[in-house]
Amino acid sequence: MKIFTLLFTLAFTAFSFAPEMATVNTAESTITWTAKKVTGQHHGKVPITSASLDYQNGRILGGTFEMDMTSLTVEDLTDAGMNKKLTDHLKSDDFFSVEKHNTSNFKITDAKTSNGKDYVLTGNLTIKGITKPVSFPATVAVNAGKITATGKLTFDRTHYDIKFRSGSYFENLADKLIYDDVELDVKLIASE
């Protein structure tokens, strides 16, 4: 009987400390990408197909989000023809190979915070089937049961086999050079 009581207590304790999954509203949440080149920059959106946050006692412990690369958009080009040309190029094998890799994702492996608001999130970013660790600062605010997590994740595209016009791989690109770093401004909105 003592063994049964001990097992029940251990199971109850483990269950009571399990992280709660905060439901992320993918329609309200956004990911904006920015890529820079010598002559300027472009930006757009990548829709979030699914996301969750492990949230307990007012702190994020983990989480994940998945991006729909087939629906990637360019927001700064108003000319329809130029917009389509760049969007199609970004989806091609020169960049994200969306026909072969239609989703990308990020999974938090560590969430450090001293105040429950300012975080350093570390996790695994998977693009084109290649997974690499990245860390970035994030801010979390809670208001009326709504959790808003924002952060700027910067990754080196060449680590994911995206080398088109990279100065790390090609010489004499002059004003055709595209910088290796790509920024993702992430905003996740979830219910507590």
The reported pTM is 0.84
Where do the structural domains in the chain lie, given as residue ranges? 19-191
Q: Quick check: 163 and 130 in contact, CB under 8 A? A: no
Mean of per-residue pLDDT scores for the chain: 85
CA separation for the pair 138, 149 (Å, rounded) = 7
- Dump pLDDT digits (tens) for 100-143: 999 999 999 999 999 999 999 999 999 999 999 999 999 999 99
163: its two tokens = 């080398």
Q: Helix or strand or coil: residue 157? A: helix
CA separation for the pair 137, 131 (Å, rounded) = 19
- Dump pLDDT digits (tens) for 5-25: 444 444 444 444 454 788 899
Burial 3-15 (b: 16+ CB within 10 A, else e): eeeeeeeeeeeee
The CATH topology of domain 19-191 is: Lipocalin (2.40.128)
